[in-house]
A = this chain, B = another copy of it.
């Protein structure tokens, strides 16, 4: 088989039907017929719907060229005005991995996964260009530009995640890099006006680690027509709470509803693990966010 010319079949979700994939994704929370069971379907969409975050990885290394394939996929995502405001850094050094894991609240999978990628919202590259060309970039200090850099990095990373899933790999995003962006920047030698927006673990799932597809809110809550419509929200949330409680019991022991989880996560500032300092820290790293 010549990998240069012959696409091989996706392996992560082969044979899953649309009805089965939708049932896993929405559980019993979705109102009947929402989403409809007819509609387009193919292997790529099966792979997308089969996504689940995985926190237990085998030590097996990735095949040669995998990293570059993931980055090519990432670069193929749209980027605002082709500004390409992101950079990725791989971290292999065990000591650095260990400290990053500690910053993230002792997430051991950061140490254990075969590939750890940091995704950087990066205004520094284009600033270096402007310095070389002796032209000022007046747009850098604004919230808009910060927002574009974060969105650019997210679009790129998500393409890498989709590519990884299509290769039978699993991933988990690590938002907790933002617990201490200054120390993370120091560890990676980042220039001013760049910071790690999030990390990403990539590897083969440990078959011993449970990783069922997590149900989401019914579409009636997240998809509206013409104008915002919160009407179905209460009904949907009650159904979803029940569904996520069952999911939690099956997978994470503590049977907790979505409502209770969100209130615990978004209620107290203490739950932010230091991320309430993000604005002040980013200011020190060169982001004015005016």
Q: Which residue numbers of A lie inside 8 Å of B, CB to CB? A: 3-10, 14-15, 17-19, 21-22, 25-26, 34-51, 53, 63-69, 71-73, 75-84, 86-93, 96, 120, 124-126, 128-130, 132-133, 135-140, 142-145, 147-148, 150-151, 154-155, 157-159, 161-163, 166-167, 171-173, 175, 178, 188-191, 194, 197-198, 213-214, 216-217, 219, 221-228, 230, 233-234, 237, 244, 258-259, 261-263, 265-269, 271-272, 275-276, 278-279, 282, 289-290
Contacts and interface: CB of A to CB of B under 8 A. Distances in A.
B35 A69 contact: yes
A161 B125 CA distance: 27
Contacts of A77: 51, 158, 161
Pairs A-B, 4 closest by C-beta atoms: A39-B65, A35-B68, A154-B154, A44-B166
A83 B279 contact: no
Chain copies in the assembly? 2
B225 A89 contact: yes
A142 to B, nearest CB: 5
Nearest to A155: B158
Given A48-B162, A289-B279, A66 B39 contact: yes
Nearest to A73: B48
B43 A44 contact: yes
A93 to B, nearest CB: 6
A214 B82 CA distance: 9
Contact of A279 (B6, B36, B91, B143): B143
Contacts of A166: 42, 44-45
Contacts of A25: 72, 75-76
Nearest to A269: B138
Contacts of A126: 262, 266
Contacts of A244: 82
A91 B63 CA distance: 44
A143 B289 contact: yes
A130 B237 CA distance: 12
Contacts of A51: 76-78
Given A10-B44, A143-B278, A227 B69 contact: no
Given A93-B226, A139-B269, A78 B173 contact: yes
A69 B37 CA distance: 10
Given A87-B228, A175-B80, A263-B133, A75 B216 contact: yes
Contacts of A227: 89, 188-189
Nearest to A289: B143
Contacts of A96: 226
Contacts of A144: 178, 272, 275-276, 278
7 contacts: A25-B76, A35-B65, A44-B162, A45-B167, A71-B223, A75-B217, A144-B178
